[in-house]
Structure 1
Amino acid sequence: MRIEDMSIDQLLELNQYICRRIDELWDQENLQALSQLRVGLKVTFEGRDGPVLGIVTKINRKSVIVLAEDGTKQYKVSPEL
């Protein structure tokens, strides 16, 4: 079936299916990234102002708290970063 031939209801159903699948894949990537992290681990990631070097202080289900190495700033980042 061509997408041009689909009704609005069919397109909405397809959209919901695609969004669910994308969410599942993101969750899998998050879990994989989280499994490699530990509190106290030194990490680097690309911040708004450039590279950030820090230490993992807390691991949440969907985010990681990183304290900048100089102790001046704390970042809440996605595990993939």
Structure 2
Amino acid sequence: MPDAPIDIDRLTEAELIDLNHRVVERLRFIRQARAHVAMLRFRIGDRVTFEPDLRGPIHGIIVRYNKKSVSVLTEDGQRWTVAPGLLRRADDGARESSGPDNDTLLLPGS
């Protein structure tokens, strides 16, 4: 039997605030989980490329995993913090590193 939809018109202000906090926390968890799945497509030392703003492609090597991003050291020595979803392999012919075949993420309660 499916859960009944929440009738927010009947909730008190305190209940609405609590619901809001729960929704925000759930969305934060889902974003972090997606970033983690995207990170698993890459390994430290992989050559990657990304395009910030309108600067054109930037090439570099992944040097560190962060909580929701990766650190990329560019060919000219700059260090960038990049969301893993924005990265591509620098050479399309490279073998895929071990990890998920896609970015599908199954979460409890989804």
**TM-score (normalizing by structure 2):** 0.61
CA deviation profile, 1:3-35 (whole Å, cap 9, x unmatched): 344321121011011111101101210210121
Q: Which residue of 2 aligns with 1:37?
A: 42
Q: With CA pairs under 8 Å and 6+ residues apart, which has the higher RCO, 1 or 2? A: 2
Choose from 22, 34, 39 the match for 2:27. Answer: 22
Secondary structure of 1:50's counterpart equals coil
Counterpart of 1:38 in structure 2: which amino acid?
A: R
Question: Is 1:76 matched up with 2:81?
Answer: yes
Secondary structure of 2:43's counterpart equals coil
- 5+ long unaligned stretches in structure 1: none
Counterpart of 2:23 in structure 1: which amino acid?
A: I
Q: Which residue of 1 aligns with 2:68?
A: 62
- 1 or 2, which has the higher helix percentage? 1
Query: What's the offset of the Cα at 1:66?
Result: 0.6
Question: Once the two structures are aligned, what percentage of the paired residues are identical?
Answer: 32
Q: Could you tell me how far apart the structure 2 residues matched to 1:4 and 1:52 are? A: 50
Q: CA RMSD in A?
A: 1.8
Q: Count how many residue pairs are aligned between Structure 1 and Structure 2.
A: 80
